[in-house]
Amino acid sequence: MIELLCVVALLGLMVSLPLVTSGSDRDRLQLDAAARRLLLGLERARSVARREQMACGIALSVDAWSAPEAEALQSELPPCPGVSVALQEVLHQGPIQLHTNLPAVMRVSANGLLLDGGTTVLSHGRLDHTRCLVVSLPLGVSRLGRYQGGPPAEGQRLSSRRCLPDSQEA
């Protein structure tokens, strides 16, 4: 009887292992997708500004890139049209947290250069792994990476030096 109980317990443990692994993998994929969408929103704004030959602004909220509020925009700076990008899919929202020191409105020049810079860190409630985006001045070069040291604590200053670039695979 004890042997049968041990076999059932081992089978139950073996069956549950893929579920634990797949949940962690799904969380990591959600975090990576949110990081790519973070970069995609900036690239769309740059593309629109170049195509329209018009400077514009874009705002990052907790869950999406979108047009800035009218009072946040400078009087002559219009919002970038059609660049709303959600950081997560509507039906698959996980506990992703956003920490940023980007300005309320990111300005994009008519030739597609980002005029503002900063660091944004994305973390997932069930992962120690973090992703980051750095927009460097003066040219507005942006890059994705891994934020060293885990998710920032509330009120902790973000540092672009802690955003290590993703390894380039050949």
pLDDT in tens, the chain (170 residues): 666 555 666 666 666 555 544 567 888 999 999 999 999 999 999 999 999 999 999 999 988 899 888 777 777 899 999 888 988 876 666 688 999 999 999 999 999 999 999 999 999 888 888 999 999 987 788 999 999 988 888 778 999 999 999 876 44
Q: What pLDDT is attached to residue 170?
A: 42
Which CATH architecture is the domain 26-165 placed in? 3-Layer(bab) Sandwich (3.55)
CA distance 92 to 12: 28
Tell me what pLDDT residue 84 has: 87
**Spatial contact of 60 and 106, defined as CB atoms under 8 Å apart:** yes
Greatest alpha-carbon pair distance for the chain in Å reads 80
Q: Phi and psi at residue 38, in whole multiples of 5°?
A: -60, -45
Q: CA 107 to CA 63: how far, in whole Å?
A: 19
The two structure tokens encoding residue 82: 């059609």
Residue 116: per-residue pLDDT: 93
Residues 35, 45: contact at Cβ < 8 Å? no
Instruction: Please give the Cα distance from 54 to 51 (Å, whole number).
Output: 8
Distance CA 22, CA 1 (A): 33
User: C-alpha angle 48/82/114, rounded to 5°?
Assistant: 40
Dist CA 78 CA 83 (whole Å): 13
Around Cβ 45, how many Cβ atoms within 10 Å?
25
| Distance between CA atoms of residues 44 and 117, nearest Å | 16
